[in-house]
């Protein structure tokens, strides 16, 4: 049980960063974000993703645009803003530092 709790906290801690990494490449529909994260072995449900997307939008880090869909109503596609890209650069530096720290500690 302890290991699962720690793993869950680790996933939560990096989810925002991973979502921003995806949105840096191109615009995504929310279910496509979930699919991409699942392909990378990061399991996320809609109930977790939507509040995250809303928070990032409120912070000015992402925006969305409506696109027509061939299989139903228009869809909301999310993308990073310029401010979001700047934040992602800072998060990426932090991730690299953190990963390096963990690697150094593992080698002790």
Average pLDDT over residues 89-106: 96
Is 59 a residue whose pLDDT tops 90? yes
Q: What is the pLDDT of residue 45?
A: 86
Kindly tell me the burial class for residue 30, based on how many C-beta atoms sit within 10 Å of its own C-beta (0-12, 13-18, 19 or more).
middle
The structure tokens listed for 75 are: 């869809």
Q: What is the pLDDT of residue 69?
A: 85
The structure tokens listed for 7 are: 């793993």
Is 12 a residue whose pLDDT tops 90? no
- Span 2-107: which CATH code? 1.10.10.10
Chain centroid, CA 24 distance in Å:
10
User: Where are the chain's structural domains?
Assistant: 2-107
- Cβ neighbours, 10 Å, residue 51: 10
Whole-number Cα distances in Å, 9 to 5, 12, 15, 27: 6, 5, 10, 27
Q: Edge to edge, what strands does the sheet with 28-29 contain? A: 28-29, 72-80, 62-69
Q: What is the pLDDT of residue 84?
A: 98
16-57 per-position pLDDT tens digit? 999 999 999 999 999 999 999 999 998 888 899 999 999 999
């Amino acid at each position: 049980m302890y290991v699962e709790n720690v793993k869950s906290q680790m996933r939560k801690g990096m989810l925002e960063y991973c979502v921003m990494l995806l949105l840096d490449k191109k615009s995504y529909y929310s279910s496509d974000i979930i699919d991409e994260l699942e392909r990378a072995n990061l399991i996320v449900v809609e109930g977790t993703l939507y509040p995250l997307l809303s928070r990032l939008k409120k912070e000015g880090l992402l925006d969305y645009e409506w696109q027509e869909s061939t299989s139903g109503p228009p869809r909301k596609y999310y993308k990073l803003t310029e401010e979001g890209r700047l934040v992602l650069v800072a998060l990426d530096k932090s991730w690299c530092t953190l990963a390096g720290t963990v690697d150094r500690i593992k080698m002790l």
